């Protein structure tokens, strides 16, 4: 899936800036908005300042188009983390549990990824946070909690929530949002890095469904 995303980044960047994407910034835990602006800094002349106030919006549209054109490659080049579906199914069977997603991908692309692997049906995407929202992930967590409170008419505090994270940037976002963070060693951040950043507990992977559920539901 990473290759599909990188190719889409490159095409969208070239379309809206007229420049090739030679250097790609660190993407782990970053939103598509952050990746775009960091890519501008890395791939344009020193002192370059885009004059077009609609540049980000145009990039988002170009990125959605570029990714859509490559969706057919996802089953072959992408993968679902082992145990992810089982964990979502198990949690969906528990009363009072609301599942959503907070991702750096723009809405269109995130929904496409979830749909391809049959995971979208377990998640409430109306209250999700996406990279198309120009907010840091920590702020997106706060907005997602507010959206869930309004939609379901319940009193929902950060203490009621858990965020699964595989990067230290996501752990920092969880801390900002005041929610518990469960680390998963499925990304570039090591287990030790996730633990040192504040994730607790830290799981090697998602294959032990009972352990994943217990970590998320822990008071």
Residues with Cβ within 8 Å of 37's Cβ and at least 6 positions away in sequence, in order, are 56
Average pLDDT over residues 35-63: 82
Which CATH code of 3.40.50.1000, 3.40.50.740, 3.30.300.30, 3.40.50.11810 fits the domain covering 80-217? 3.40.50.1000
Domain ranges of the chain: 2-75, 80-217
User: Is the pLDDT assigned to residue 41 strictly greater than 80?
Assistant: yes
* φ, ψ of residue 119 in degrees (nearest 5): -105, -15
Both tokens assigned to 192: 């030790």
Distances (CA, A) of 32 to 2, 12, 22, 110, 181: 13, 11, 17, 11, 22
Residue 200's pLDDT band (boundaries 50, 70, 90)? very high
- Taking only the tens place, the pLDDT of each residue in 153-176 is 988 889 899 999 999 999 999 999
Average pLDDT over residues 92-116: 93
Residue 219: its pLDDT value, please?
78
Average pLDDT over residues 189-193: 96
User: Is the pLDDT assigned to residue 205 strictly greater than 80?
Assistant: yes
Residue 217: its pLDDT value, please?
95
User: Is the pLDDT assigned to residue 71 strictly greater than 70?
Assistant: yes
* φ, ψ of residue 37 in degrees (nearest 5): -70, -35
Residue 51's pLDDT band (boundaries 50, 70, 90)? low
pTM greater than 0.75 (yes/no): yes
User: Is the pLDDT assigned to residue 52 strictly greater than 90?
Assistant: no
């Amino acid at each position: 899936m990473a290759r599909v995303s990188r190719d889409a980044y490159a095409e969208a960047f070239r379309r809206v800036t007229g420049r090739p994407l030679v250097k790609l910034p660190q993407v782990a835990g970053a939103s598509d908005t952050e990746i775009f602006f960091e890519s501008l800094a890395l791939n344009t002349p020193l002192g370059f300042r885009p004059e077009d106030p609609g540049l980000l919006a145009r990039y988002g549209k170009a990125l959605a188009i570029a990714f859509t054109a490559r969706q057919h490659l996802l089953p072959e080049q992408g993968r679902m983390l082992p145990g992810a579906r089982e964990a979502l199914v198990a949690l969906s069977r528990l009363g009072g549990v609301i599942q959503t997603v907070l991702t750096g991908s723009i809405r269109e692309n995130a929904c496409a990824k979830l749909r391809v692997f049959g995971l979208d049906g377990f998640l409430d995407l109306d209250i999700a946070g996406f990279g198309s929202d120009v907010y840091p992930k920590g702020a997106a967590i706060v907005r997602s909690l507010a959206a869930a409170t309004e939609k379901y008419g319940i009193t929902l505090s950060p203490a009621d929530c858990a965020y699964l994270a595989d990067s230290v940037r996501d752990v920092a976002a969880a801390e900002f949002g005041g929610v518990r963070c469960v680390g998963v060693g499925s990304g570039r951040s090591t287990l030790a890095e996730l633990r040192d950043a504040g994730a607790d507990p830290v799981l090697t992977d998602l294959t032990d469904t009972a352990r994943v559920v217990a970590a998320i539901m822990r008071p």
